[in-house]
Structure 1
Amino acid sequence: MTESKINSQAPETLEKIPEEISVEMRKIAHDLSNALEIIVQTSYLLNTAHLKEPASDWLRMLDSGVEKAMSLNLALRTYIKEHTSH
């Protein structure tokens, strides 16, 4: 099933993740959020250092990766929430 078909279904018709798996998935997603927060804060602090080239380019690459990782983590957490009973 495509993602758009899954998301367009009513919540009660979505296939549910078994409880023991969803608990572990929530734990991993939470731990991932904590690890990403360290990276986000480090990136922020590096941005205050006014780095010169090429380090400023590397920091922009880091920031781009951080944004993508945060977006993916949010999508994962949303998916888990939508596909669990709790």
Structure 2
Amino acid sequence: MNEAKVSSQGTNVEKIPEEISVEMRRIAHDLSNALEIIVQTSYLLSTAELKEPASEWLRMLDGGVEKAMNLNQSLRKYIKEHTSN
């Protein structure tokens, strides 16, 4: 049975089994690396003078990148709060 851990909000949460948490951390790390490539590419594209509709596509990309980064941060926080390490 999994032990309870206190979250940053002060509530008890079930811990993720170690073998699963290790794989989840690896995947979250790889996701962060992939997102960083997208963030850097988005930045480089923003330095170019893009015409419509390409500039609108870049704005859409930036919005998606921001959402993906926030989701990844939430995932990493969840993993941290639900593991013993």
* Shared fold, TM over 0.5: yes
SS at match of 1:17: coil
After TM superposition, the structure 1 = structure 2 runs for residues 2-81 of structure 1, keeping only pairs within 5 Å, are: 8-10=9-11, 13-81=12-80
| Bigger fraction of residues in helix | 1
Q: Which residue identity lines up with residue 76 of structure 1 in the other structure?
A: L
Matched letter for residue 62 of structure 1: L
Q: Aligned AA for 1:29?
A: A
Task: Supply the distance in 1 between the matched residues of 2:17 and 2:34 (Cα, whole angstroms).
Answer: 26
Q: Return the letter of the residue paired with 1:68.
A: K
Q: CA deviation at 1:50?
A: 1.7
TM-score, length basis structure 1: 0.87
Size of the alignment, in residue pairs? 79
Whole-Å separation in 2 of the counterparts to 1:81 and 1:22: 9
Gaps in structure 2 of 5+ consecutive residues: 1-6
More strand by share: 2
Provide the C-alpha distance between the structure 1 equivalents of 2:73 and 2:10, rounded to a whole number of angstroms.
Answer: 20
CA distance in 2, matches of 1:83, 1:33: 19
Following TM superposition, where does structure 1 have runs of at least 4 consecutive aligned residues deviating by more than 4 angstroms? 6-9
Provide the residue aligned with 1:3 in structure 2: none
